[in-house]
């Protein structure tokens, strides 16, 4: 009977997998590009579709480079290949006659808290920051100066320019590529575009359709080119070396006597230890072309390199929720963000088929305590306070979106957008519609769980018993070794 260590916040919870259960483990990181900048330059010279950068930049005097905050994957790394990719794109534009002083780096953060100096500094390497003379703009989804383009109102830097270059990594159909253009749009359009059954399939994805429509409308006004990186899974060193990719490392962590000592260590110290673990994030490939084309090719390659195969559907799945938000800066996730990590992100990374049988059970390993980092997560506090009055999560989130003080806190960079809770709850809906129950294992705030329609359980053991009772027979349970969350290719 294999022992499976699962991350719950900063704790490691060990589960005993049965004979019919499945341990879902991502493949190890693949071979990395030796020179990311050179690969990006090569991709810009030979795009998959459309003219190369040299041709597009021939008549350009100004250029806008659209980037996203490097929030995915979780965990991230201090040295990120996207830093080198941005530098390479800026250098190529300079080589083709667009000085960096006439370039704008536009950070498209969607509904997340607007980036401050620390997050902006992490976008590029220190050496690049010293020599870049252009402008860095942080998108404001509530800016009254947004310009109408096709289905959205977008940042003026996307139209008041001679060339737009999108530099992102292919994480999902919503993150990267044309999705970065959408993340530089107005709040209502962003909030309405996060749905869809799968984050790895374009069919049925409202976000992909909206982003593609925006890309077509923008391309009719300004030349457009995209670069998409295929990122490998992050590689961890130190005490967790090899986890969760190597079966021997997983067994070593599960049986380590230090695990119990780590478990009784105060939470802030555990968090500091986990943050101090050396992480390496590398790129496996780079593609260029129209943003949607390059992104689609990179996403397919990423699913092939980073995905695991699941033969047949599960009756229940255990998902560990880390002590990290899906946005920057990393903070302690409140219950809604924990639900989004498990249901709106991890459980939507599938291709071909949903990994659970109809009416299956999802078990989220998280303490689910209503702790809201101030002031960043203030809209979530209001969300739960109003939900307690019986208004319902959707109605509550729409109501707080009209709160002028919350909007001002977003615009000043102190909090996320008040529509963020609504968008994240909507992202959970596709999984919730397929599931029979969501059980929160280790829940310390039963009221918060019940407000979202979940079932609280004191620990993993009672949660597994609930899943067995719901199945009416010995269930087939999957244990998702994460983070990082990874694609699942589900076969019949």
CATH number at residue 225: 3.40.50.11440
Asked if the structure places residue 210 within a domain, the reply is yes
Q: How distant is the alpha carbon of residue 171 from its chain centre? A: 7
Query: Are both 101 and 60 inside the same structural domain?
Result: yes
Query: Are both 9 and 48 inside the same structural domain?
Result: no
- Strand, coil or helix: what is 286? strand
Radius of gyration for the chain, computed over Cα atoms and rounded to the nearest angstrom? 22
pLDDT of residue 392: 55
Query: Are both 120 and 144 inside the same structural domain?
Result: yes
Query: Are both 21 and 94 inside the same structural domain?
Result: no
Q: Which of 231, 247, 264 is the last residue of a domain?
A: 231
**In which residue are the tokens 């401050």 written?**
116
pLDDT of residue 400: 60
Query: Are both 323 and 437 inside the same structural domain?
Result: yes
Asked if the structure places residue 279 within a domain, the reply is no
Per-residue pLDDT of the chain (492 residues; tens, 9 = 90+): 688 999 899 888 999 888 889 999 999 999 999 999 999 999 999 999 999 999 999 999 999 999 999 999 999 998 999 999 999 999 999 999 999 999 999 999 999 999 999 999 999 999 999 999 999 999 999 999 999 999 999 999 999 999 999 999 999 999 999 999 999 999 999 999 988 899 999 988 999 999 999 999 999 999 999 999 999 999 988 777 888 999 888 888 888 887 777 777 888 888 888 888 889 999 999 999 999 999 999 999 999 999 999 999 999 999 999 999 999 999 999 999 999 999 999 999 999 999 999 999 999 999 999 989 989 998 998 888 776 665 555 555 555 656 788 899 999 999 999 999 989 999 999 999 999 999 999 999 999 999 999 999 999 999 999 999 999 888 999 999 989 999 999 997
User: Which one, of 9, 132, 128, 138, lies nearest residue 79 by Cα?
Assistant: 128
The predicted model scores a pTM of 0.95
CA–CA–CA angle 366, 306, 294 (5° rounding)? 115
CATH number at residue 18: 3.90.226.30
CA 360 to each of CA 165, 198, 311: distance values in angstroms, whole numbers, following the listed order = 43, 17, 16
Domain extent for 347: 3-26+307-491
DSSP state of 54: H
Asked if the structure places residue 397 within a domain, the reply is yes
User: Residue 236 belongs to what H/E stretch?
Assistant: strand 235-236
pLDDT of residue 270: 85
Q: Which of 231, 255, 287 is the last residue of a domain?
A: 231
Query: Are both 14 and 116 inside the same structural domain?
Result: no
pLDDT of residue 385: 78
pLDDT of residue 101: 96
Strand ranges across the sheet with 224-231: 135-138, 103-107, 63-67, 164-169, 224-231, 283-289
pLDDT of residue 432: 96
- Strand, coil or helix: what is 318? strand
Q: Which of 201, 231, 261 is the last residue of a domain?
A: 231
CB atoms within 10 A of CB 406: 22
CA 368 to each of CA 194, 321, 333, 441, 448: distance values in angstroms, whole numbers, following the listed order = 23, 10, 9, 9, 7
Rounded Cα distance, 251 and 253, in Å? 5
Rounded Cα distance, 225 and 269, in Å? 45
Asked if the structure places residue 152 within a domain, the reply is yes
**In which residue are the tokens 């809209």 written?**
379
Q: How many domains does the chain have?
A: 2
- DSSP codes, 347-362: GG-EESS-SEEEEEEE
- DSSP codes, 325-380: -SSSS--PPPHHHHHIIIIIIGGG-EESS-SEEEEEEEEEE--------TTTTHHH
CA 439 to each of CA 80, 213, 309, 354: distance values in angstroms, whole numbers, following the listed order = 35, 38, 25, 18
Query: Are both 131 and 59 inside the same structural domain?
Result: yes
Asked if the structure places residue 441 within a domain, the reply is yes
Rounded Cα distance, 415 and 375, in Å? 6
Query: Are both 47 and 18 inside the same structural domain?
Result: no
CA 238 to each of CA 7, 168, 242, 431: distance values in angstroms, whole numbers, following the listed order = 17, 29, 9, 35
Query: Are both 322 and 183 inside the same structural domain?
Result: no
Query: Are both 318 and 345 inside the same structural domain?
Result: yes
Asked if the structure places residue 393 within a domain, the reply is yes
Query: Are both 53 and 153 inside the same structural domain?
Result: yes
Ramachandran class of 461: left when φ > 0, alpha when ψ lies in -120 to 50, beta otherwise? alpha
Asked if the structure places residue 281 within a domain, the reply is no
Asked if the structure places residue 236 within a domain, the reply is no
Query: Are both 9 and 108 inside the same structural domain?
Result: no
């Amino acid at each position: 009977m294999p022992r499976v260590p699962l991350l719950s916040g900063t704790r490691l919870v060990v589960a005993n997998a049965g004979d019919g259960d499945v341990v879902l483990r991502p493949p190890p990181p693949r071979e990395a590009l030796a020179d990311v900048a050179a690969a990006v330059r090569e991709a810009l010279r030979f795009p998959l579709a459309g003219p190369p950068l040299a041709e597009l930049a021939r008549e350009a005097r100004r250029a806008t480079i659209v980037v996203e905050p490097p929030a995915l994957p979780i965990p991230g790394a201090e040295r990120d290949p996207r830093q080198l990719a941005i530098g390479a794109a800026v250098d190529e534009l300079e080589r083709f006659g667009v000085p960096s002083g006439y370039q704008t780096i536009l950070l498209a953060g969607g509904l997340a808290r607007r980036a401050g100096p620390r997050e902006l500094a992490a976008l590029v390497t220190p050496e690049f920051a010293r020599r870049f003379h252009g402008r860095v703009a942080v998108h404001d989804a509530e800016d009254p100066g947004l310009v109408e383009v096709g289905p959205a109102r977008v940042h003026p830097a996307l139209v008041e320019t001679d060339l737009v270059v999108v530099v992102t990594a292919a994480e999902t159909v919503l993150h990267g590529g044309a999705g970065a253009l959408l993340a530089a749009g107005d709040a209502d359009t962003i909030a309405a575009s996060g749905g869809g059954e799968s984050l790895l399939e374009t069919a049925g994805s409202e976000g992909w359709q909206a982003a593609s429509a925006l890309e077509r409308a923008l391309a009719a006004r300004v030349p457009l080119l995209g670069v998409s990186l295929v990122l490998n899974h992050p590689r961890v060193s130190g005490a967790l070396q090899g986890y969760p990719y190597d079966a021997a490392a997983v067994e070593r962590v599960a049986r380590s006597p230090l695990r119990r000592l780590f478990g009784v260590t105060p939470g802030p110290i555990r968090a500091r230890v986990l943050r101090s673990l050396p992480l390496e994030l590398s790129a496996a490939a780079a593609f260029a072309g129209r943003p949607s084309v390059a992104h689609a090719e990179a996403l397919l390659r990423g699913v092939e390199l980073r995905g695991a195969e699941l033969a047949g559907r599960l009756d229940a799945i255990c998902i560990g929720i880390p002590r990290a938000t899906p946005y920057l800066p990393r903070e302690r996730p409140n219950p809604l963000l924990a639900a989004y990590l498990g249901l709106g992100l991890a459980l939507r990374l599938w291709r071909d088929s949903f990994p659970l049988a109809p009416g299956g059970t999802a078990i989220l390993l998280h303490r689910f305590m209503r702790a809201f980092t101030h002031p960043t997560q203030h809209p979530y506090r209001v969300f739960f306070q109003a939900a307690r009055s019986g208004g319902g999560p959707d109605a509550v989130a729409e109501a707080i979106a009209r709160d002028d003080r919350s909007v001002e806190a977003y615009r000043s960079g102190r909090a996320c957008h008040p529509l963020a809770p609504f968008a994240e709850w909507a992202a959970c809906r596709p999984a919730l519609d397929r599931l029979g129950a969501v059980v929160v294992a280790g829940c310390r705030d039963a009221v918060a769980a019940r407000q979202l329609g979940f079932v609280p359980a004191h620990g993993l053991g009672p949660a597994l018993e609930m899943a067995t009772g719901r199945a009416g027979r010995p269930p087939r349970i999957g244990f998702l070794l994460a983070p990082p969350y990874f694609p699942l290719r589900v076969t019949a």
